[in-house]
Structures are given as structure tokens and as C-alpha cells.
Amino acid sequence: MKFSLDDLVPIFRQFEGPLTSELVRKPGDFGLGQVPVRFKPDATTTTVCGFCSTGCGLKVHLRDGSAVNLSPDTEYPVNLGMACPKGWEALTPLDAPDRGTVPLLSGQPASWHDAMSSFASRLREIQRVHGPESVAVLSTGQIVTEEMCFLGALARIGLGIPNIDSNTRQCMATSHVAYKQSFGFDAPPFTYADFEQSDVLVFIGANPCIAHPILWQRVLRNRRSPEILVVDPRRTETAMAASRHYSIAPKSDLTLLYGLANILISSGWIDREFIAQSVSGFPEFAEFVRAFTTDRVCAATGLDAEALWQFAQLVGDRSKRVSWWWTMGVNQSHESTRTAQAIIALALITGQIGKPGTGANSITGQCNAMGSRLFAHATGLPCNRDYGSPADRAEIASIYGVPAESIPQSGSPAYDQIIDGVKTGRIKALWVIATNSAHSWGTSEDLQRALAGLELLVVQDMYPTTETARLAHIYFPAAGWGEKDGTFINSERRIGLVKKVRRAPGEALSDFNILRLVSEYCGVADQFREWSSPEAVFRIMQRLSKGRPCDITGIAGYAQLDTDGGIQWPYAKDDKPASHHRERRLFGDGHFFHPDGKARILFSSPREPSEPTDAGFPFVLLTGRGSSAQWHTGSRTGKSAILAKMHPSRPYVEIHPEDAHVLGILHGGAVEIVSRRGMATACACVTTIVQPGSVFMPMHDAQVNTLTAPEYDPHSRQPSYKYCAVQVRPV
Ligand SMILES: Nc1nc2c(c(=O)[nH]1)N[C@H]1C(S)=C(S)[C@@H](COP(=O)(O)OP(=O)(O)OC[C@H]3O[C@@H](n4cnc5c(=O)[nH]c(N)nc54)[C@H](O)[C@@H]3O)O[C@H]1N2
Ligand SMILES: Nc1nc2c(c(=O)[nH]1)N[C@H]1C(S)=C(S)[C@@H](COP(=O)(O)OP(=O)(O)OC[C@H]3O[C@@H](n4cnc5c(=O)[nH]c(N)nc54)[C@H](O)[C@@H]3O)O[C@H]1N2
Ligand code: SF4
Ligand SMILES: [Mo]
């Protein structure tokens, strides 16, 4: 190793790095790594919630400089003084008794020096013996953007790891691809004020009452007596609160949307002027959707003709502001990209975009899924640049100060292709950061077996107790939200500042500092000298964004993010101060990011899911969020006794009363759910929330992904978690 331990002392000292409250800054000093707000040790500071992509502002109350409590921020433009149960309980998981406090080597406590030495030598040895293709990284949409950007650059450029993807693939890959192809850039166009300024809100495959409760609160603040339309095969909390619920057959969305387009176009309920100026592909689309007759659409979706036409009338009313919102019911399907693009097409042909209360709007999932879409270096280079483009590579190389040849020429394979590599033995070493794949990835039983067979599994998580961390050869204890500085980007493109208001327990380090250690121990730190702190990386991110649609060169630094209540991109150097426009949307000028300035309509014929139901497996299994108090695999929310009181304690499956009656299943009774891949046991929740013929299980139950099918959208490679064939039987 070409450095001495003395060189590492400054890094190790960061175990004891200052809390934000302890930082001092001179006026005008935008020095690196320091948040320029000094507050009294017993004062209150602000931060942004680290669970969902709503990105609520929180006030953190400090004693002796360290967080003891929190409350929602009344000034923050996102949540206006509201927070959901997870936000209120955000400090609790930090104190959990199973926090990782020291590195583990084969489950045994080790020093950072030993863990890092072992990591570096084993990684390098595997690369030497089996080639670069044998190593992979799986990361997350739940760390700060600065860490994502550093991780991507370090893994791909510094360490020569060709495989790097993240849980964002399971979540937002579809929105990313759909927007990039349609608008020329991955650019969700909306701002949250649109919830309040819309006359007709259409939610497709989205359950904000549970998954984005504060966004739903924004909908409730709408004073325009809006029509709220929900398209969901389940009668969810959101559907119950809506004015109209279209309970379509699972995975019939694409046919429905094309049918709506056909009615709108044939009835002339479209904006011809906007189409002529701003849309390409319309004549072909108009011709294509003619085949989606009312009869065909009703047969596929289960809706009656009246409901379909009424839907079309509502969204085709040019005197109204119509907004379209979608989430995982769209993104997690076998034809998700085209479904998202059909929603985009409907907004485009009706001219409902770029104005208050309109838009084709993808609601993001994790707190920083947007950050990973822009900066992760996975499928593309930062800010929607392409690995395949020599000009893009040269630009990145000059920003990073590295030779152009050091930038790889192709994007990473997708998550499922990486997992295939793990299963077939092609991938020998896997480094997992802030995601719990062994629970959240489909075919999880196979995956757990495959993970156990790896030569090297490294897991970097707040807890060594997750399903994935328990299998690790090397475990790195990570600081969590609240224990480190950086930024998140929320669903409406708002960059918000998160602060270190707690010390991480024991020797746990921020992901940022773990990455710095990796760069030192792997001998590539010289390339990353400039990447010395989160705010230094923020500066690099600003250079990466320069001249791109997501230009953020106008942000003065962390200080301005803090005082302005976050700032939405774009915010280029010559833009007006953000305070002049706290809420901004895109495309007000009808100009999109393709070279011709137009948005593209893209479409394909609907296909059946690859696993139809049959006599052996007669039910469709839907999966999704169960309650506002549960977050994914529960590593964090599962630590709160308060949240535990807010959701059922036993695994359950929703089943319709007619089906339950035929099968002799009683409410609360034990049942088995069997798919072609696995089996789960749960208690029956007999309810009309689900349609006859389909059942629902929350994804928080680790058994769910032993059942789900390995099917992926061909364009985004996002898994289709919301459709597989199962059998249900009483036990
Ligand atoms: N409390 C809580 N909030 C969260 C999360 C959490 O774990 N817990 N996770 C966050 C993340 S990362 C994400 S991605 C979001 C997800 O947020 P949502 O997407 O809103 O949540 P889901 O429950 O996964 O799926 C939404 C709906 O899709 C429906 N659906 C299933 N199949 C179909 C179909 O074929 N067509 C249509 N139209 N609908 C269908 C389901 O019935 C479900 O009601 O939530 C975020 N917020
Ligand atoms: N069947 C089915 N499966 C699904 C879904 C579904 O709807 N149905 N939804 C999918 C979606 S949309 C998503 S987003 C995924 C989510 O799936 P996961 O990402 O696997 O779920 P989490 O429980 O959020 O796992 C995050 C992990 O990161 C750790 N962590 C938190 N903060 C930090 C940090 O700052 N640093 C480090 N190093 N670790 C940290 C937590 O302890 C936790 O173990 O699940 C997907 N899986
Ligand atoms: S809605 Fe999302 S961002 Fe807001 S408090 Fe709840 S989990 Fe946090
Ligand atoms: Mo997600």
C-alpha cells in the first residue's frame, strides 16, 4: 500500500467529525465541507426527511448540539408544517440497539484498517483472477447525491467496476427512460403547487394516501373542487377518497390509455395548435390508436362504455386544468415504459403541460431516487450524458481531470442482469450499499442462495441485521440520515439540504467517508483529491450540470439551499434568485429537450404479461405499500414501537369475499399463497378492496418476493412486481 497509516489519521478522525451545529464559518467563506449555519447548541435547525421523495422539511431540536426531537417545518415550501408518521419518527431508527458500530469480518468485529485491507486485497485479487466483469455494485436512492456521485465515479472510473446499478431500477427506471425518450431529458415537469391548482387530477397506479401522505395533503388543499380520478385495480385509500375510481383489470392500463387517446382524437378534444408546435409522432399515433375501440377497451379493462367516455370527457375538457400522476402501478409492469409514455402522450395531445395544474407527472419513490437518476453513473454518465458518446465522455473527463480513455464506453448492465451474473457465478464479488436486496428483489429465495455462494459479499448498511447484511463476508457500519451532510433531490426536482445532527454510533462512518477509505486502500485516492467533502462534491455536481437542462450552477452553495427552502432545478447562474420563484415547472414555453424542440409520442401494441393465470394458479398477486408507517423492508421503520402500533403485526393477504367464500377462507384465517417459485403463509384479510380474482400482499413482508415473477419491461428493465399468478388455499 502506498500510503502510511498517518495519512489516514485525518480520515479516521472523522469518526469524531463535527456536528453541523459545531461548524463555524466566516461570512462569505464557502469553504469545503461546512454547512454555513452556526446555531446554538440548544437551538433548532432544519433538514429534509430521509424516507420518501416528497422531501418534507423538518425542524430538528438540539440539546448540546445533538438532535433530541423534531417537528415538521412550517416554512418549508413542500410540506407547510405537515409530516407523516415516518417523518415524525425519523430519529428513532438511529438509536436502535442493532445499529452497526464496528466493521465485521466474517461476522466478527474488526478494525476499519483490517476490514478495508481485506476488502481492497480481495477485490483486487478477484479482478485480477476473474477479470473486471466479475465485480458488481448495487446501491440505492437513499443516500445523499454527493455520495451517489462519488460512488459512481469511484466504482466505474477509479476501480474499473463495469457493473453498477441500484434499487432505483426497481422504482424509477421506467420514469427515467420514458421521460428521456419523450422529452429528450429525464425531467419531471411539475411542481407540488400543481396538486392545488388542478381541476382534474388523474392518479394511475398511485396510492398517495399511503405512500406519499403529505402530497395527498397538498391535494386536499386544492380549492378548485377538483375531480379526482383513480385508476387502480384495488379500491385503495386513495380510490376511496377520490371522486371516481376506475377499477381496471390488472395490467390493462396501456389499452385503457390508448382507448382514451382514440376517443379524444376522434372527438376533436385535443389541442391541435400545441401538437403542431411542440409534438412529434402525432399522425402515426392517431392512426395507431384507431384500433382501440370502445368495445376492445371495455373488454380488456372491465370498464363499461359510459365510464370510459366519461373519463375521456373529463380529461378532454379544454376549459379545465388536467394533471396526470403515476407511480409504481405503472412503473412496475411488463410494459411500463410505453404505459408511462401513453400518459405523457395524453397530456401532450390535450396541451395539458407546462401550465399551472397540468402535466404528465411521475411521483418519485425514495428520498433521493432523483439524485441517482441524475448522478449515479450507472446506465448513463451524469446529467443524462451517454457513455457511448465520445463528446460526453470527453466532457466528463475534463470536469474530473482524468484522461478521456479512463471513462468507460458503455453503461452498466441492469440490476436483473447483475443478479443473473451472481446466480450463474459470472459475478464473484458484490458490494451492496444501502439496499436490502435479499428482501426487496424478486425471486429473493434464489437470490439469497446465490449471495451465499459469492466469493465476496460486502454490505454497507446502518444495520448488520438485514437479510442481506447477515450474509456478508465484510460488513461496513454506515451512518444514516441525520448523521451526515449532503443533498437530496425530491419529486419536484427540489434540491434540499440534509445535515448532520447526530453522531453515528461507535465507529460507524458516513458512506462518504467509507468511500474515501476505499479510494485510499484501493490506491486510487489521487484521482479523487478534489472529492474531499460533500460540499466539494456538490461543486463538482454543479460543474457536471453546467449547460444541461438540470443546470444548478446558480446555487451559491449549501447556505443558499438552507435559507431558500431548497431550490428546484434548473437554476443556472444567470437565473433570478430562487426566492423569486419558490415553485417552478418546466416546459412553459412549449419547448422540449430534443434537438427539434418537440416532445415525442412513443407507442407499442399492448402485450399480455408472460405469466397468465391458469387453473393451477388462478389468482393475480399484486404487491405494494401496506401502510404509511412502514418503509420497504423495515430495517429502519421496524425499529419504532410507535410505528409498530400503526400497522397490522402479522403478514396478511387481501382477498375478495366471493373468492374467500368459494375457498372456505375466513377473515383472519391462515392461508398459503403459492406461486410457481415459492410459498408464503399469511392471514386472510377478506375485503372488497381487491377485485375478485386478484389478491394483494404488502411488500414489507419478506415472503412476497419469493413469489413475484422475474419479468422486466424491455426498455427500462424495471421488474414487474405487480403481477404474478398464484394459488391461495386455507391451512
Ligand atoms: N409508507 C410508505 N411510503 C412509501 C414507501 C414505503 O415503503 N412506505 N416507499 C416509497 C417508494 S420507494 C415508492 S416507489 C413509492 C410507491 O408508491 P405507490 O406506487 O403509490 O405505491 P404501491 O403501493 O407500490 O403501488 C401503487 C398502486 O399500484 C396499484 N397497482 C397494481 N397493479 C396495477 C395495475 O396494473 N394498474 C394500475 N393502474 N395500478 C396497479 C396497486 O394496487 C397500488 O395501490 O412509495 C414511496 N413511499
Ligand atoms: N414485491 C415488491 N417488491 C418491491 C417493491 C414492490 O412494490 N413490490 N418495490 C420496490 C421499490 S419501489 C423499492 S424502492 C425497493 C426498496 O428496497 P430496499 O432498498 O431493499 O429497501 P429498504 O428497506 O429501504 O433498504 C434500504 C437499506 O439501506 C439502509 N440504509 C438507510 N440509510 C442508509 C445510509 O445512509 N447508508 C447506508 N449505507 N445504508 C442505509 C437501511 O438500513 C436498509 O437496510 O423495493 C422494491 N421491491
Ligand atoms: S411524507 Fe415522506 S418526506 Fe414527508 S415526512 Fe413522510 S416519509 Fe418523510
Ligand atoms: Mo421505490
CATH class of the region 189-363: alpha beta
DSSP string, 454-498: -SEEEEEES-TTSTTGGG-SEEEEB--TTSS-EEEE-TTSEEEEE
Determine whether the shortest distance from the Cβ of 231 to ligand 1 is under 6 A: yes
Sheet holding 567-568: strands in order across? 486-489, 494-498, 567-568
Q: CATH 3.40.50.740 occupies which residues in the chain?
A: 104-169+398-496+506-553+565-580
pTM of the model: 0.96
Nearest ligand, CA of residue 643?
A: 1
CA distance 92 to 345: 44
Residue from 49, 53, 99, 142 whose mutation best tests the ligand 2 pocket (most atoms within 8 A of CB): 142
Per DSSP, the three-state class of 242 is coil
- Helix (H) or strand (E) segment spanning residue 641: helix 641-644
Instruction: Report angle CA 178, 417, 450 to the nearest 5 degrees.
Output: 140
Span 576-612, pLDDT tens digits = 665 556 788 999 999 999 999 999 999 999 999 999 9
Q: Determine contact, residues 257/346, Cβ cutoff 8 Å.
A: yes
Q: What is the pLDDT of residue 40?
A: 64
> 619-730 architecture in CATH?
Beta Barrel (2.40)
Lowest mean pLDDT among 20-29, 81-90, 305-314: 20-29
* Beta strand ranges found along 517-558 (DSSP E): none
Nearest CA among 581, 503, 684 for reference residue 15? 503
* CATH number among 3.40.50.740, 3.30.70.360, 3.40.50.720, 1.10.1040.10, domain 104-169+398-496+506-553+565-580: 3.40.50.740
Q: CATH 3.40.228.10 occupies which residues in the chain?
A: 189-363
Q: What is the pLDDT of residue 339?
A: 98
Q: Which atom of ligand 1 is nearest to the CA of 364?
A: 14
Q: Which atom of ligand 2 is nearest to the CA of 514?
A: 38
Residue from 46, 48, 53, 54 whose mutation best tests the ligand 3 pocket (most atoms within 8 A of CB): 54
Amino acid at 441: W
Distance 21 CA to ligand 4 centre (A): 32
Nearest CA among 141, 566, 534 for reference residue 373? 141
Distance 211 CA to ligand 3 centre (A): 9
Superfamily the domain 5-95 falls into: ADC-like domains (2.20.25.90)
In which residue are the cell numbers 396526470 written? Answer: 324
Q: CATH 2.20.25.90 occupies which residues in the chain?
A: 5-95
Span 530-577, pLDDT tens digits = 999 999 999 999 999 999 999 999 999 999 999 999 999 999 988 766
Q: List residues near ligand 3 (CB under 6 A).
A: 49, 51-52, 54-56, 79, 83-84, 86-87, 212-214
Distance 168 CA to ligand 2 centre (A): 9
Determine whether the shortest distance from the Cβ of 256 to ligand 1 is under 6 A: no
Span 476-518, pLDDT tens digits = 999 999 999 999 999 999 999 999 999 999 999 999 999 999 9
Per DSSP, the three-state class of 696 is strand
Q: Write the CA distances from 487 to 145, 370, 440, 665, integer angstroms.
A: 6, 11, 25, 49
Most distant pair of Cα atoms in the chain: their distance: 76
**Residues of the chain with pLDDT > 90: what percent?**
91
Q: With cut-offs at 50, 70 and 90, classify the pLDDT of residue 106.
A: very high
Q: Determine contact, residues 155/377, Cβ cutoff 8 Å.
A: yes
Nearest CA among 360, 335, 180, 355 for reference residue 261? 360
311: cell is 373519463
Nearest residue CA, atom 39 of ligand 1? 205
Determine whether the shortest distance from the Cβ of 466 to ligand 2 is under 6 A: yes
213: cell is 401522505
Q: Which atom of ligand 1 is nearest to the CA of 249?
A: 35
Per DSSP, the three-state class of 674 is strand
Q: With cut-offs at 50, 70 and 90, classify the pLDDT of residue 31.
A: very low
Span 197-228, pLDDT tens digits = 999 999 999 999 999 999 999 999 999 999 99
Q: Show Cβ contacts of residue 439 under 8 Å, excluding neighbours closer than 6 positions.
A: 466, 467, 468, 632, 633, 702, 705
Q: With cut-offs at 50, 70 and 90, classify the pLDDT of residue 64.
A: confident
Q: CATH 2.40.40.20 occupies which residues in the chain?
A: 619-730
